[in-house]
Homo-oligomer: A and B are copies of this chain.
Amino acid sequence: MTANQQVLLDNRPTGEAVAGNFKLVNSETPVLQNGQVLVRHHFLSLDPYMRGRMNDSKSYTAPQSLGEVMGGGTAGEVVESRSPKYQPGDKVVGMGGWQQYSVVSADAPGALRKVDTTHVPLSHYLGAVGMPGVTAWYGLLKIIEPKAGETVVVSAATGAVGSAFGALAKARGCRTVGIAGGPDKCRYAVDELGFDACIDYKLYKDAAALSKALQQACPDGIDGYFENVGGMVLDAVLLRMNAFGRVALCGMIAGYDGQPLPLNHPGLILTNRLKLQGFIVSEHMSIWPEALTELGTLVGSGKLRPRESVAQGLQAAPEAFLGLLKGKNFGKQLVKLI
């Protein structure tokens, strides 16, 4: 038994999520059973999808239960093992949740994955070489299916998904254009992440104005779009899509608080013969090994240099998460737990 801190979902948001929805508690880890391992979490991943799970409504995942530890991806180290598969000291990635330690059945499929930190820092396995990176890979390769020379756009371009998307698309010879909030993020997208251009959506008051900026950044139109935010940004991009354009819908963070978020010109889907497709990367596990191999190589070789926002200590997780929903993070949002 080890002293453990946990963050529970205490009550559900009405509208915007607030710190009072969460509760920090002290507990102890249960005694290990045969086949189980005890993992000390070094990093907790904060991701926009968690906001959806806080609602008690039909979505692609079951709602987060009240009074239980918030779910979430974790990277850490095995500190005790009653499974022959793991030794203390092994670096592992799993879904340990918002807590310092987790007890995991080593045989449960997909519960834990051993990772090699020789060339890739442990934290990146929660970002560029983890779920967000694979998300970018799936949307680009399986939905957008880009050809060299095409123009692809991604919103939330400096986030964990967006930055991986940029590197993956660049490697395929695409013109890559990001959309992000604020001059610092846009400069970073171009200077460090290798985007050909990046548009600061905060400079534009509506979809029509943003669409004009997109026209300048994408003189040949837009062939593929990876959507993380929804709302005005999606409307603006659709106005610039070329015939036979493809849109991968992975997040619509702008609508997570429940406000209406219509798509204003669905007729464009018809007139431009577009494909819009939603997906969830956890439903496509078969592509993970191939995607992780490419992403690990991009990071290991320095072609993808993902940025991280790191909050310190579990008690900082709720505020860091609420900041993420407002775009206050700069790069992959993590909580360091050691």
Shortest Cβ distance from A207 into chain B, in angstroms? 12
Shortest Cβ distance from A194 into chain B, in angstroms? 27
Whether the pair B263, A266 counts as a contact (CB closer than 8 A) is: yes
Stretch at the interface among A268-276, A290-298, A307-315: A268-276
List chain B residues, Cβ under 8 A from A243: 60
DSSP majority for the A interface?
Answer: loop
> Does A237 have its Cβ within 8 Å of any Cβ on chain B?
no
Kindly state the separation between the CA atoms of A269 and B266 in the bound complex, as whole angstroms: 12
Whether the pair B279, A277 counts as a contact (CB closer than 8 A) is: no
Kindly state the separation between the CA atoms of A243 and B277 in the bound complex, as whole angstroms: 12
List chain B residues, Cβ under 8 A from A250: 270
Kindly state the separation between the CA atoms of A129 and B220 in the bound complex, as whole angstroms: 38
> Does A70 have its Cβ within 8 Å of any Cβ on chain B?
no
List chain B residues, Cβ under 8 A from A52: 271
Kindly state the separation between the CA atoms of A58 and B267 in the bound complex, as whole angstroms: 12
Shortest Cβ distance from A227 into chain B, in angstroms? 8
Shortest Cβ distance from A61 into chain B, in angstroms? 9
A278 partner, pick from B230, B265, B273, beta carbons under 8 A? B273
How many of these chains are in the complex? 2
Q: Which of A230, A260, A265, A266 has the most CB of B within 10 A?
A: A266
List chain B residues, Cβ under 8 A from A252: 266-267, 270
Kindly state the separation between the CA atoms of A252 and B263 in the bound complex, as whole angstroms: 14
Whether the pair B283, A278 counts as a contact (CB closer than 8 A) is: no
Tell me the A229-266 residues at the B interface (CB within 8 Å): 230, 234, 243, 249-252, 255, 260-266
Whether the pair B264, A269 counts as a contact (CB closer than 8 A) is: no
Whether the pair A264, B260 counts as a contact (CB closer than 8 A) is: yes
A270 partner, pick from B58, B249, B267, B269, beta carbons under 8 A? B249
> Does A280 have its Cβ within 8 Å of any Cβ on chain B?
yes
Q: Which residue of B lies closest to A262 (CB)?
A: B262
A283 partner, pick from B267, B269, B273, B279, beta carbons under 8 A? B273
Tell me the A153-210 residues at the B interface (CB within 8 Å): none
> Does A286 have its Cβ within 8 Å of any Cβ on chain B?
no
List chain B residues, Cβ under 8 A from A261: 266-267
List chain B residues, Cβ under 8 A from A274: 276-278
List chain B residues, Cβ under 8 A from A264: 260, 262
29 A-B pairs in the complex with CB atoms less than 8 angstroms apart: A52-B271, A58-B271, A59-B271, A60-B271, A60-B272, A60-B273, A230-B267, A249-B266, A249-B269, A249-B270, A252-B267, A252-B270, A255-B267, A260-B264, A262-B262, A262-B265, A263-B263, A269-B276, A269-B277, A269-B278, A270-B278, A273-B277, A273-B279, A273-B283, A274-B276, A275-B276, A275-B277, A276-B276, A276-B277
Question: 3 nearest interchain CB pairs?
Answer: A262-B262, A270-B278, A263-B266
